[in-house]
């Protein structure tokens, strides 16, 4: 089966610019996650969707980050305006279970560099 | 909030030596998962532990979940160069099964 797709793979922007990332989860997976992984650290959950509803966004910096999952499939994560500390890999993951624990399948990530 | 600590941060071994990484949570967990991330890659699921005191094996890998469901360990017997990567534990304690990842242990293996 096809894995989680993400684009772009790399993005370089200047601070205060905006950027958007796209994710297509594995077909049939109800839950979609966006993580931020700073170099040398573990992934940090930014937002979790179940179908097209938000389950958890407690660690999403809502003054600059936004995310949506239209029709419960694809998702986009936007940063506006970007700061230097947003430089990280943004990982999208999906899982089959809706509302339960289970294996998360990660995409290849988008490496963001903010200059 | 929930915190997951992982030690050691780095471990370098000779091929054939054993390796262990430890994970501790500040709160009782409903389950714990382990992931492996190769250099330049993305996290890949290894296993999930749910029961108190649970032990699971995958070939040379042994995973344990503590009796109090607050700690876990991953042990690799006779490491190989293919074991190189960062091993993350990720704990879940809430009703929405939100995962909190540790900082990971970077394993390097000298052939």
pLDDT in tens, B39-51: 999 999 999 999 9
Q: Give contacts of A30 with chain B, Cβ < 8 Å.
A: none
Question: How near does any CA of chain B get to the CA of A107, in Å?
Answer: 7
B57-63: average pLDDT: 98
Confidence of residue A22 (pLDDT cuts 50, 70, 90): very high
Phi, psi (degrees; rounded to nearest 5) at A7: -150, 150
DSSP A20-42: EEEEE--TT--EEEEEEE-TTS-
Q: Is A9 on the interface with B (CB under 8 A)?
A: no
- Is residue A100's pLDDT more than 60? no
The pLDDT, as a whole number, for residue A52 is 84
The pLDDT, as a whole number, for residue B98 is 86
A106-114: average pLDDT: 98
Q: Is A96 on the interface with B (CB under 8 A)?
A: no
The pLDDT, as a whole number, for residue A61 is 96
In a 3-state reduction of DSSP, which class is residue A55?
strand
* Mean of per-residue pLDDT scores for chain A: 94
Q: Cis omega (within 30 of 0) on the bond before A11?
A: no
The single-letter DSSP state of residue B81 is G
Q: Cis omega (within 30 of 0) on the bond before A92?
A: no
Using CA atoms, how far apart are residues B94 and B67, in angstroms rounded to an integer?
19
Task: Among A33, A59, A90, A104, pick the best mutation site for testing chain B contact (most B Cβ within 10 A).
Answer: A104
Residue B61: name the closest of B18, B107, B111 by CA.
B18
Using CA atoms, how far apart are residues B83 and B6, in angstroms rounded to an integer?
18
- Mean pLDDT is lowest, of B42-46, B81-85, B94-98, for B94-98
- Is residue A97's pLDDT more than 90? no
The pLDDT, as a whole number, for residue A72 is 83
- Is residue B96's pLDDT more than 90? no
- Is residue A93's pLDDT more than 90? yes
The pLDDT, as a whole number, for residue A98 is 60
Using CA atoms, how far apart are residues B109 and B11, in angstroms rounded to an integer?
9
A83-87: average pLDDT: 98
The pLDDT, as a whole number, for residue A114 is 98
Question: How near does any CA of chain B get to the CA of A93, in Å?
Answer: 10
Q: Which two tokens stand for residue A65?
A: 């980050």
Q: Where are the beta strands (DSSP E) in B1-111?
A: 4-7, 10-14, 19-25, 31-37, 44-49, 55-58, 61-65, 71-76, 85-92, 99-101, 105-110
- Is residue A38's pLDDT more than 60? yes
The pLDDT, as a whole number, for residue A2 is 85
């Amino acid at each position: 089966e096809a894995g989680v797709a993400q684009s772009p793979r790399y993005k370089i922007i200047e601070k205060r610019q905006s950027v958007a990332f796209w994710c297509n989860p594995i077909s049939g997976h109800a839950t979609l996650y966006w993580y931020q992984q700073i170099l040398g650290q573990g992934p940090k959950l930014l937002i979790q969707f179940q179908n097209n509803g938000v389950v958890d966004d407690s660690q999403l910096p809502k003054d600059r980050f936004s995310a949506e999952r239209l029709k419960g499939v694809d998702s986009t994560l936007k940063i506006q305006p970007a700061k230097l500390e947003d430089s990280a890999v943004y990982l999208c993951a999906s899982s089959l279970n809706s509302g339960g624990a289970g294996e998360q399948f990660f995409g290849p990530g988008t490496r963001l560099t903010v200059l | 909030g929930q915190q997951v600590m992982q030690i050691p941060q780095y471990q370098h071994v000779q091929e054939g030596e054993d390796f262990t990484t430890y994970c501790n949570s500040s709160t009782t967990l409903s389950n714990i998962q382990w992931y492996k991330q190769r250099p330049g890659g993305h996290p890949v699921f290894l296993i999930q532990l749910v029961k108190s005191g649970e032990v699971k094996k995958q070939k040379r890998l042994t995973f344990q979940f503590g009796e109090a469901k607050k700690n876990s360990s991953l042990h690799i017997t006779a490491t190989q160069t293919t074991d190189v990567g960062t091993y993350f534990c990720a704990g879940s304690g809430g009703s929405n099964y939100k995962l909190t990842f540790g900082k990971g242990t970077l394993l390097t293996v000298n052939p």
